Structure 1
């Protein structure tokens, strides 16, 4: 969908639908909604008085114009209570009204800047949120199935003041870059595992590197063997698909050799290995590479936005399958840093591949480190599907990542990492074991990773909950969410700004 910023009067725009908005509890519309209401001889006011339009968050009410306006219909988008309005709710509103209008065969939509008047939202923030929410909300994975509806082709963001247009256009362009990156991550996760193999993940990284002039190094089995990546190679033993470890690099700051490190868990299919999962729901385990997809696509977005910062993404990718050569409970592996690991469960494999990835990131001198991983069902049970669980060895870094997520609407909750729980992953025959008991599973997984992060400032985000959605809601659709892409991009942009002010 193409998004343009134009100057004009929303009531005079020719489109299949024009979109105005209303706060919950408002009895008399104001601003642009009032202008449209008058042009329709008060029909919106009448519907409000009859409680047919309530302004509830996510509500989309359709009013046909019957020739009174150039547009075929008016959509009144509910903003909810005025005190609750923020940029993320505007994203959600945009996703809702775009899907509703797509179902009504609208190809061209015109919208006002929601919340930029009485809502107190900055116009630039509103434009960015509308564009991002619209693009994310209209995402659909239709590669293997005929689409139910035709795409919306064009959305016009209509403003009165011509001098605002340049800044709004820049905001819309940023939104497009970020939303397209998140949507690409969704597509990678939604692909079946017989297509999105480790080899195809490497090809996807190669395409992004070529398109945006990124550096790319792909480690093959012989490279990993030479570096002693026994943990990653151990997980890969059960599959005929060769594992890959990719280093994707963006160089935006030629003055510095320092680089941020982003890491993503890339299990393209997780059967559990010999510790096999129940068959019910196993198909969802094609999405166990959501962290890797987010990291790869975030680098593409960062390259387009060109912040003055260096970033390298480390992406370990393999399948976790049972076979005659597969890793077994009781086996001992040696990671790249020399630590030995007793394998209690082959279904605790994500932390094993991340262990070697963290070691490799330190070898490259990357700092700070942020990893995204669909690591534990325990975190999903604890926090549900709206929050990622954040663990860290550095308070300042944790706060920066939490704030970056808050700004873009990706919610995270910081979890504890008590030293006492290290006892749960202490092995009698190796330096550490890869799983404790059923208690505190998300915490012990993070404590395991911390052993390989060392003293480097590090954040681990367990995205097992928010990596997928079971329904349409706001700008989320059923399937992969692309969670983490927008946080990583925002973090890189904010780090670049901090560097400029030093």
Structure 2
């Protein structure tokens, strides 16, 4: 393998230098919500008028025969090799006088996973019939159902159908519990319909207004209702994260991200504080302050807190509570600073706050949810810009915990602000801390774009996160974090350097963070490989993906449901 360029070592996926033939096209997807306007400074030109906000799709349960539902389109799934439609597909086939059977007999459609056909049969109250392949029955999973639903919703939208009726794919022959299937369909429908249109003069086909999940059995339909609501809530949290990561840096500096966090907290029944420069100086958060030094927009630390049961109250000595902390990198635009990134793909660096966006999406998805623990979200937010006051290579930064760090690369900035956030998190005495960040371009070289890197010395925490990843389809791949790596970060001028060498770049970045996590039960997710999709997928367009919202919510929900989880000594759970 050719040696990586210096840029391949540093923070952020845009750090990896590409040859011209490898350059990705810019994002053409869109979102559900307009970014909020930034207040203008005196004499500053007004922004161009943005596109109107799209209406949020409704996803609702319906009891009845799917063949009799009036809709712009109806969607069904067919297993690979199936010759006689059953269940909802069988009802559609009977009502359409054998249209589905005729399609299967023609062999133009075989039921391969995500294979799609559109029919216009008579006998249905829907104008169109969308048939999507489910693949082999034994391979069907909730995540595959999510992808099938996303495929159907996107196809219906592109055909101009404003409404879509669909069964809970996999709830019959697929062997998936009806509630899990219904939730996956709800999530997939919203995620597949998602687009970012805030800055487009021609937004394309209108979004779907409504998706109906149709179930013939009355009892099953009733049981599906809360699962569908859960799926809608989670998917909208993902869409929020995508919205934020898609918004240009000029319209979402750290201060504006803090304002967005305040709004999210109010809606989610949480509290939020935005600590400004003076407060950061009093706390001694030298890493966060140093990263934001070169920008006209000052850095801040966003702190969200949600008490047990969904309340705003914090734990007290008389009422101790379990606490989980999630930390998201919030670099709202990353030029690399004095260690300037290459020109190619720098426009994507608006999404270097995808970790912070995922934290806000997580809190948004918790509206109306009761958790028996306190959840704290920390987003260290800054712009990494060059300038006369910017951090320089060779500068020494004193971190919040007193550690000194010589800056050898200003584009390795994410680990500096995350390190201060990890030190800040200790005041909560958490039973677990998970940070997620678009930290290194090197993780994409190692894993491609289908998995994020998982780094933790804690075996139990690793198992929990991997189980949540398997359920949600937000894949993680565990990476080594052996203590011997730490020697490569030892400095001559200061305690540590923030970047060292070309080999094992992602591991060294995680090793740097491990020093500041100390004995906390901690995991680091390097999501630079998954936070931006280079291609369209059924449940996500090209561009920001909102990765981490569903994963974190699943992990927290499972941990909350297990009263046996506690902050046992991390050393007892660590691997050597």
**Normalised-by-shorter TM-score class:** over 0.9
2:195 corresponds to: 140
Structure 1: how far apart are the matches of 2:71 and 2:556?
A: 38
Which whole-Å CA distance do the structure 2 matches of 1:214 and 1:225 have between them? Answer: 26
Shift in Å at residue 364 of structure 1?
A: 3.0
How far apart are 1:35 and its partner, in Å? 2.3
C-alpha separation between the residues in 2 aligned to 1:83 and 1:294? 32
Alpha-carbon distance in structure 1 between the residues aligned to 2:457 and 2:88: 49
| Greater alpha carbon shift after TM alignment, 219-228 vs 304-313 | 304-313
Q: Does the CA-based 8 Å contact 1:394-1:458 persist in structure 2?
A: yes
The match for 2:137 among 68, 75, 82 is 82
1:245 & 1:96 partners in 2: Cα distance? 39
Q: Which residue of 1 aligns with 2:266?
A: 210
* CA distance, structure 2, for counterparts of residue 183 and residue 283 of structure 1: 21
Cα displacement (A) at 1:343: 0.5
Choose which of 179, 183, 186 in structure 2 pairs with 1:124: 179
SS in structure 2 of the partner of residue 147 of structure 1: coil
Query: Higher relative CO (CA 8 A, sep ≥ 6), structure 1 or 2?
Result: 2
Name the structure 1 match of 2:148: 93
**After superposition, what is the alpha-carbon deviation per residue over 1:165-193, rounded to whole angstroms, capped at 9, x for unaligned?**
22201001001111001100000000000
Tell me, yes or no, if the aligned pair for 1:309 and 1:495 is still in contact at 8 Å.
no
Give the SS at the match of 1:37. Answer: helix
What SS does structure 1 have at the residue aligned with 2:147?
helix
Distance 1:160 1:266 in 2: 46
The one of 48, 57, 68 equivalent to 1:12 is: 68
Change (3 A) 1:412 1:100: same
2:327 aligned residue (255, 263, 272): 263
Deviates more, 1:225-234 or 1:418-427: 418-427
Q: 1:173 aligns with which of 229, 233, 237?
A: 229
1:20 touches 1:75 (CA, 8 Å); kept in 2?
yes
SS in 1 for 2:392: coil
| Inter-partner Cα distance in structure 1 for 2:320 and 2:129 | 52
Aligned match of 2:33: none
Alignment partner of 1:404 is 2:475: no
Q: Which residue of 2 aligns with 1:413?
A: 477
**2:89 is aligned with 1:25:** no
Range with greater deviation from structure 2 (341-350 or 291-300):
291-300
Q: CA deviation at 1:398?
A: 1.3
Task: Check the 8 A contact 1:302/1:492 in 2, yes or no.
Answer: no
2:109 aligns with 53
CA distance in 2, matches of 1:473, 1:137: 8
Aligned residues of 2:61 and 2:213 also touching (Cα < 8 A):
yes
Preserved CA contact (<8 Å) 1:274 1:326 = yes
1:445-476 Cα deviation digits (max 9, x unpaired): 00000010000000000000110112221211
My pick for the range that moved more, 381-390 or 73-82, is: 73-82
Q: Does 1:240 align with 2:296?
A: yes
SS of equivalent residue, structure 2 residue 411 = coil
- For residues 395 and 153 of structure 2, what CA distance do their matches in structure 1 show? 52
Partners of 1:226 and 1:14 in 2: how far apart? 62
Deviation track 1:241-284 (CA, whole Å, cap 9, x = no partner) reads 01010110010257533310000001001100000000111011
Partner of 1:27: helix, strand, or coil?
Answer: coil
Asked if 1:339 corresponds to 2:403, the answer is yes
Which structure 2 residue ranges, 5 or more long, are not aligned?
Answer: 1-56, 310-314, 567-576
CA contact (8 A) 2:72 2:163 kept: yes
Alignment of 1:344-383 (within 5 A): 344-383=408-447
- Farther-moved stretch of structure 1 (36-45 vs 126-135): 36-45
Confirm or deny: 8 A CA contact 2:145 2:181 kept in the other structure: yes
**Secondary structure, aligned partner of 2:333:** strand
Displacement, 1:32? 2.0
Taking the aligned partners of 1:429 and 1:393, their CA distance within structure 2 comes to 28
Q: Is the 8 A contact 2:443 2:529 kept in 1?
A: yes
Please state if 1:41 is matched with 2:97. Answer: yes
Q: CA deviation at 1:158?
A: 0.9
Displacement, 1:143? 0.7
Q: What is the CA distance between 1:500 and its match in structure 2?
A: 8.0
8 Å CA contact 1:217, 1:247 repeated in 2: yes
SS in 1 for 2:249: coil
Q: Tell me how far 1:333 sits from its aligned partner.
A: 0.4
For the aligned residue pairs, the C-alpha RMSD in angstroms reads: 1.4
Q: 1:426 aligns with which of 483, 490, 494?
A: 490
Q: CA deviation at 1:501?
A: 9.2
Please report the TM-score for the alignment, with normalisation by the length of structure 1.
0.97
**Pairing 1:318–2:373 present:** no
Identify which of 522, 540, 553 aligns with 1:476: 540
- Residue equivalent to 1:250: 306
Match of 1:442 in 2: 506
TM-score (norm. length: structure 2): 0.85
SS in 1 for 2:104: helix
Deviates more, 1:220-229 or 1:362-371: 362-371
Shift of 1:46: 1.7
Q: Is the 8 A contact 2:268 2:363 kept in 1?
A: no
